[in-house]
Amino acid sequence: MSVSDIDKQIEALQKQKEEMLKSEKTAAIRQVKQLINDYKISMGSIRNVIYVGFDSKGKGIKADLKNVKAKE
């Protein structure tokens, strides 16, 4: 096995990794969209969880992430 063979393997693995990441992201987006539809989640309901206040233009003033639970 030569260095060029290893370089080819690394390149092939990097391409495979990129394809797998793209596939996983697509599946995650599909799942999120399904959850949004199932639970009828709106931008307003998301903003009420993430922000504690809004300015006059409706932008969130302060992020409050203690109410956002990460999937374990």
Where do the domains of the chain lie?
A: 3-67
Compute the average pLDDT of residues 10-16: 97
Any residues with CB less than 8 A from the CB of 41 and at least 6 apart, and which?
35
- Using only C-alpha atoms, what is the Rg of the chain? 21
Smallest CA-to-CA distance from 50 within 38, 25, 28, 68 is with 68
Check if the beta carbon of residue 50 is closer than 8 Å to that of residue 65: yes
Looking at the chain, list the stretches that DSSP marks H as alpha helix, in order from N- to C-terminal side. Answer: 3-39, 43-50
pTM: 0.56
Q: Dump pLDDT digits (tens) for 19-51.
A: 999 999 999 999 999 988 898 887 767 666 665
Q: Per-residue confidence at 68, pLDDT binned at 50, 70, 90?
A: low
Distance separating alpha carbons of residues 52 and 68, to the nearest angstrom: 12
